[in-house]
Amino acid sequence: MNNYEFINEQGTFRLSNPHKTSYLYFPLCNPKGMMSSITPTLNGDIKIDQNHFALMPVSQEDLHNSKAGRNFWLDIKGYEPWSATGNSAKQRVMDEDEVTVEAGLLWHKVIRENKRISIKTEVTTYVPTKSDFVELTKVTILNTGEGALDLTPTAAIPIYGRSADNLRDHRHVTALLNRITILENGIVNHPTLSFDERGHNQNHVRYAVMGIDQAEKTPTQFYPVLEEFIGEGGDLDWPQAVVNQDSSPYQIGDQIDGYEAMGGLKFESIHIEPKESYSFVIMIAIQSDNDDLQSIYKNYCSIDGFNTYLEENKRYWEKELNTLSFNTGNLNYDNWLKWVTAQPIFRRIYGCSFLPHHDYGRGGRGWRDLWQDCLALIVMNPENVRYLLLNNFAGVRIDGSNATIIGNQPGEFMADRNNIVRIWMDHGAWPLLTTGLYINNSGDLDFLFETQSYFKDQHISYSRETDDQWDPSQGNHQLDKNGVEYSGTILEHLLIQNLVPFFNVGDHNNIRLEGADWNDGLDMAGDKGESVAFSALYGSNLQELANMLKKAKEKNSIETIEVFEELIVLIDSNNDRISYESVKDKRKCLDSFFMQCNHTVSGKKVRLSIDAIIDDLNRKSEWMLMHIRKNEWINYDENTGWFNGYYDNNGNALERGNFEDYRITLTGQVFTIMSGVADKHHINKILHAANKFLKDDLVGGYRLNNDFHEIKLDMGRLFGFAYGHKENGAMFSHMAVMFANALYKRGYVNEGYEVLNGIFEHCYDFSKSKIYPGIPEYIDNKGRGMYHYLTGSASWLILNVVTEVFGVKGYYGDLLLEPKLKKQQFDNEGTATIQTLFANKIWTIEFENKNLLDVGEYNIQAVYLNEEPLEIQSPCLISRQLLKNSKGCKIVVKLGE
């Protein structure tokens, strides 16, 4: 099996015989929300949301089972019908075509050649970056032989034209709604209704397949009905209309009602001399009644239009990604990172649905996704981040929980996509991590004191109870007792999110697992389950929040902060009766807080000393971290140990160190290392355990857990999954990347590098990963990358490379340089370069290591700002004001012994 090769420095790659690899797909989209997936045989689907699919929705198995993809038939004189996409029964059997895919940001080309017929086609597809919901394909036919070719082309695209729900729910009945019209240049389906037995609505969306050739000739015959195109007893990979050269009885202006729609467009026969070519453009569109379909057609459907918008498409994506690039001397790695950098953008467009592996949900992103995707946005394109973050905080409830689904508009939130009342106990931790990155990169400590409302619905007391006094007419904003919308500072929101978990503890005094944490599969321990892993993260969060307040006092001369009066019950300086060791006291305190704000809040605010808050947060943090260090360590042998990460629904520790029946999770180690719970003695033993029990080179690194050999109904659904898949012991990229992040932060650079490099080498080796460039959600037991493109691990990987590997990070607005580059990450000249956005400028930061010293052997010897030497500090900080006043945008960092 060949590996793909990068053919430039913009991530463009080429792969031979891609059609011989299963489950391979590529995303095509635009920022407006046109979303496509495409395979080497042009299968895949096209949609704008759950209810509007132009092509039939596909999951992973449909990529090879379904015949309802894009097709372009050539009826060649003297030969059998031949498909430019390879979707022909005979072509699959004969297997004589040579196929290559070339793809870039963000376009896809399939080159297919049949030497027996002396024909070659190039099928290029992309989604224009304009606001139209359009996908364009250009088919170029080249005569590679010595004699002329005479052929008749037919575009063949089944028009699904309805909701994904109707794939199984009233598939035939919804076809009866179809109203298919033949236009001069294509076929349009305009269903009468949007079918839903809970309430039908008039449909206002049209689905069109339109085309033109290079001579600007429109189709000569039309096949608008699927069953007539394939013929009685026929199918889409050997349609009778093409095989038998059946003439169509339909004329321009005809309307056909109540059948499955087909975008069958037969063009005039063409004559192609040797070495000459002929091209066609096909447009698939999803448009509202108000859109002028013919104007859209005229804009895009020509060879010049196609080429113009293709170049515009390439420029758009290059501009989106040019704020962040890397030069490590390894072109393959740098190009691979280009695709990882694009993945957070894909997730903002697709959400967590709408690619073949992501066949769940109905679009949109969850709470955790929103905050983690912002990590990459802060590094790559921070212009609107402040506005986005401020609006995101409107999803926090007054009890510290949050809405779980983000709407389409900023500040628009809903409780849950499936109306399942559920608390993910980790949700409160991520906003502080993201806000901290934003404040460090921007210096915008004032953001902490901006005000925002709170989300309100019927769920109260961490969704354990229902507010019977609330109804939807009161709106989704928290009110005070006078019926006035209540708003608090962002700091207040962060305090609630991180203080409530401190008191929400299980029997072992760790934070309750609730419905799950980051690992959605741990969803069956809601009564007695505890997450030690995320207790560690919350503990470090409290410390980080204290540090922010200390800096706000120092820089902004703030002596007091304002909070709503109900919150003070969670703050020690106002409640000396709480013993941190007492689970009972903590729960009583939390119940008191919940009771005081179960419907409305008083609206009264109190001022507290900022020093008292800092002391309180630090005390809580120190206690949490020490409690875990003291009670959750498992000693396996003199060289090996790890932290227990969880308690199950029977109150038993999930992990154990029995020689015959040891159990270990990676998550339990990541956050204890990252938070500082683990000291160097612990970390060394954890690394030994991880290498012994979790590392597997066949899957590119560290598994999420070892095999427990048990279906644990007292822990979660993941233990019902086959071991080595998804959350049950796969190499789960997100946690593996966070493992690397934790190791880098604690000074274990060599070990962190091995984690990241292992993921890259596995993903880049196509014979193992079987995916296009980028990082997948996880690697399965056979080494295949699964759930590609839409994964939070991409944001964390980017953050790792920028802030830890290159060591380019913000520190309350100033630029901090702490490179941790290995010697193999420099080029032959001893140079490694990052281009990144900071202080509203795109900076080129060049690290010179002429003697190719390894990390730990070099220090920063000199720093030049636009060739002017700077005074070196330790740590190496460059003031934001100096950077803003600088006319140039280059920093050179010289490294030496």
Mean pLDDT within 128-132: 93
Question: With bands split at pLDDT 50, 70 and 90, how would you rate the model's confidence at 577?
Answer: low
pLDDT reading at 873 higher than 90 = no
Residue 411 pLDDT? 72
CB 447 within 8 A of CB 438: yes
Task: Residue 219: count other Cβ atoms within 10 Å of its Cβ.
Answer: 28
Cα–Cα distance between 546 and 728 in angstroms, integer? Answer: 36
Biggest distance spanned by C-alpha atoms of the chain: 95
- Return the higher-pLDDT residue of 573 and 587: 587
Cα–Cα distance between 709 and 722 in angstroms, integer? Answer: 10
Question: With bands split at pLDDT 50, 70 and 90, how would you rate the model's confidence at 309?
Answer: very high
Cα–Cα distance between 669 and 36 in angstroms, integer? Answer: 38
Structure tokens at 597: 């704000």
Mean pLDDT within 386-401: 94
Mean pLDDT within 34-62: 95
Task: Residue 571: count other Cβ atoms within 10 Å of its Cβ.
Answer: 18
CB 347 within 8 A of CB 361: no
CA distances from 822 to 804, 849, 864 (A): 12, 10, 22
Q: For 552-576, what is each residue's pLDDT tens digit? A: 999 889 999 999 999 999 998 555 6
Paired with 263 in beta bridges are 157
Question: With bands split at pLDDT 50, 70 and 90, how would you rate the model's confidence at 418?
Answer: low
Q: What percent of the chain has pLDDT over 70?
A: 98
| Dihedral angle, C-alpha 836, 841, 842, 844, nearest 10 ° | -80
Give 166's contacts (C-beta < 8 A, 6+ positions apart): 174, 195
Residue 574 pLDDT? 55
Cα–Cα distance between 171 and 169 in angstroms, integer? Answer: 6
Structure tokens at 867: 């060739």
CB 74 within 8 A of CB 81: yes
Mean pLDDT within 225-237: 95
CB 82 within 8 A of CB 97: no
Residue 212 pLDDT? 98
Cα–Cα distance between 221 and 186 in angstroms, integer? Answer: 10
Residue 807 pLDDT? 97
Full-prediction pTM beyond 0.85? yes
CB 71 within 8 A of CB 157: yes
pLDDT reading at 831 higher than 90 = yes
Residue 740 pLDDT? 98
Q: What percent of the chain has pLDDT over 90?
A: 88
Residue 290 pLDDT? 87
Mean pLDDT within 47-65: 94
Mean pLDDT within 252-262: 97
Give 171's contacts (C-beta < 8 A, 6+ positions apart): none
pLDDT reading at 197 higher than 90 = no
Q: Decide: helix, strand or coil at residue 571.
A: coil
CB 823 within 8 A of CB 849: yes
Burial 303-315 (b: 16+ CB within 10 A, else e): bebbeebbeebbe
Question: With bands split at pLDDT 50, 70 and 90, how would you rate the model's confidence at 295?
Answer: very high
pLDDT reading at 1 higher than 70 = no
- Computed over every residue of the chain, the mean pLDDT equals 94
pLDDT reading at 364 higher than 80 = no
pLDDT reading at 173 higher than 70 = yes
Question: With bands split at pLDDT 50, 70 and 90, how would you rate the model's confidence at 91?
Answer: very high
| Dihedral angle, C-alpha 25, 31, 33, 39, nearest 10 ° | -10
Question: With bands split at pLDDT 50, 70 and 90, how would you rate the model's confidence at 874?
Answer: confident
Residue 365 pLDDT? 74
Residue 573 pLDDT? 58
Task: Residue 29: count other Cβ atoms within 10 Å of its Cβ.
Answer: 22
The stretches of 153-258 forming alpha helices (DSSP H) are: 171-175, 226-230, 240-243
pLDDT reading at 54 higher than 90 = yes
Q: Closest Cα partner for 570 from 535, 619, 508, 643?
A: 619
CB 753 within 8 A of CB 822: yes
CB 37 within 8 A of CB 787: no
- Return the higher-pLDDT residue of 385 and 415: 385
Q: Closest Cα partner for 317 from 340, 336, 342, 337?
A: 342
Residue 359 pLDDT? 82
Say how many Å lie between the first and final Cα of the chain, rounded: 45
Mean pLDDT within 431-435: 97
CA distances from 685 to 6, 596, 640, 749 (A): 40, 46, 4, 16
CB 165 within 8 A of CB 178: no
Residue 636 pLDDT? 95
Q: Closest Cα partner for 798 from 459, 342, 421?
A: 342
Least confident of 404-408, 618-622, 679-683: 404-408
Residue 412 pLDDT? 79
Burial 790-808 (b: 16+ CB within 10 A, else e): bbbbbbbbbbbbbbbbbbb
Give 257's contacts (C-beta < 8 A, 6+ positions apart): 178, 179, 180
Residue 604 pLDDT? 96
Question: With bands split at pLDDT 50, 70 and 90, how would you rate the model's confidence at 362?
Answer: confident
The stretches of 176-302 forming alpha helices (DSSP H) are: 226-230, 240-243, 293-300
pLDDT reading at 372 higher than 80 = yes
Give 239's contacts (C-beta < 8 A, 6+ positions apart): 73, 156, 229, 230, 231
Residue 376 pLDDT? 87
Cα–Cα distance between 351 and 360 in angstroms, integer? Answer: 11
Mean pLDDT within 200-209: 93
Helices 733-745/667-675 angle, 10° precision? 30
Mean pLDDT within 255-279: 97
Q: Closest Cα partner for 160 from 142, 174, 181, 149?
A: 174
pLDDT reading at 417 higher than 60 = no
